Structure 1
């Protein structure tokens, strides 16, 4: 009887500890966030043996949408769905001044200086 209680307590500890640590485990790797999830499966065989399988899954965290503002430096690495907008009239945007261009970041239209990357204007939800 005591042996069964010890086995049950040990398996509960083995199952619960990776679940608790996996929820809080987020690592910073090469400038990108990633999340590791470890799942433990405990099975009892008919012959009395206990089989423990662990599987670790690594997921990249989804990037957060960046909020652009006038005067910031635009970096296309942080822009979601980055594209240069050549047909700005179709989106009811004004013609960009010389040295500027309209680009897309998510659903926002951002006018940036071509050489310096400074943001001249931001039109939110202009592109759908």
Structure 2
């Protein structure tokens, strides 16, 4: 809380285990693994943004931001809690997403693909 601006950082950590990889990507390659993790981070953030927009339109704090503000800034919260429904749609959200592929899974090439087509 900083005056009229309310902001919050949402942190998410995800760990993925691939079961089977039938693409041309070699996930055991450090470069491809990082590209996949970056893509997962972007996808998670996009979904979180879409969900937030939907609940902000409803002015429904089902996420629990009000409770987080109350815990962190109890004095300020008590002064402004009656305005929370008006403020909730205006909260500025920063996302910190961290994905990690902890198992590349079984890698098999689909029929007709050659090993030299694999992106490493």
**Shared fold (TM-score greater than 0.5)?**
no
Q: Which has the higher contact order (CA 8 A, sep 6+)?
A: 2
**Which of these two proteins has the greater Rg computed from alpha carbons?**
1
Report the structure, 1 or 2, having the larger helix content: 2
Bin for the TM-score computed over the shorter chain: under 0.3
Report the structure, 1 or 2, having the larger strand content: 1
Q: TM-score, normalised by structure 2?
A: 0.26
